[in-house]
Amino acid sequence: MDWSIAEVARMSGLTSRTLRHYDDIGLLSPAFVGANGYRYYGQEELLRLQQIRVLRELGVGLPEIGRILDEQTDRVQALREHHKRLLGERDRLGTLAATVARTIRELEQPGHDEGEAVRINRPENLFEGFDSSQYDDEARRRWPEEFAESQRRAAAMTAEDMERIQRETTANMIRMAELMAAATPVDDEAVQEAVHEHYVGLCRWWTPNAQAYTCVGRMYVDDERFTATYDKIAVGLAAYYRDAIAHYARTRLS
């Protein structure tokens, strides 16, 4: 049995435009094109589309998906690998959901003041379930030397070192959120001291100059993944960091 592009779009939750794009880039071609110019898909194409959807859910980019699918020789084994990754992602999301639920419970405690939303019992718990390794491939591609240096330094650290760094990083975010909630200007000495702590923490991995550090601050806003992480602490925190970092870089690193 064959299905039209409209039927496949309805079944998969994708748009016909997306399916045509997949065809254009060689990721998913239809079984045949009818005399009317419509694309039709068979079972083989639907199985490939399922794998595409699974890999997209796991955050894999389209070029990499194409390479993975073209290189696989055993579909069942490939599906087993996808299933294993999905189970791992399920567990991670379960931890993440529990983290958010715990934060909600703490913020809903009797006597809670909305202005004190960033004061929770264990701020390091805010980040249980977050996976920072999702940035590794991108960092390796964009900043190969800096990434290699950070990996060397990380390899020399113990589990206790990493836990301490996480606590310090979270505490810095909480401190900056408190200053933002108090409407403290980014050029205030207290804010700049908190940014200095942030910069020193970053120097554990690599040492950015003024331009690079300014770019780090911009990335917190320009990259929605970073924005979402910072704004989970307090809405607007990513932009507050960006502006405070820009002032620090301009006045202390230039």
Mean pLDDT of 210-226: 87
pLDDT (0 to 100) of residue 125: 46
Per mean pLDDT, which range of 111-115, 165-169, 210-214, 218-222 is the poorest?
Answer: 111-115
Percent of the chain with pLDDT over 90: 26
122 — pLDDT class (breaks 50, 70, 90): very low
CATH number of 89-253: 1.10.490.50
Q: In what helix (H) or strand (E) does residue 3 lie, and over which residues does it extend?
A: strand 3-4
Q: Where in the chain are the domains?
A: 3-72, 89-253
Within a 13 Å sphere around the CA of 177, how many CA atoms are in the beta-carbon half?
24
CATH of 3-72, one of 1.10.1660.10, 3.30.365.10, 1.10.1740.10, 3.40.50.261: 1.10.1660.10
User: Strand 32-33 relative to strand 3-4: parallel, antiparallel, unpaired?
Assistant: unpaired
pLDDT tens digits along 45-89 = 998 898 888 888 777 788 888 888 888 777 778 778 777 777 776
- Any long-range contacts for 34-40 (C-beta under 8 Å, 24+ apart)? 38/4, 38/5, 39/4, 39/5, 40/2, 40/3, 40/4, 40/5
In total, the chain counts a number of residues equal to: 254
- The pLDDT value recorded for residue 77 is 80
pLDDT reported for residue 27: 93
If one counts every other C-beta atom within 10 angstroms of the C-beta of residue 80, the result is: 11
Q: Which amino acid is at 103?
A: T
pTM above threshold 0.95: no
Q: What is the pLDDT of residue 124?
A: 43
User: Distance between CA atoms of 180 and 186, rounded to whole angstroms?
Assistant: 8
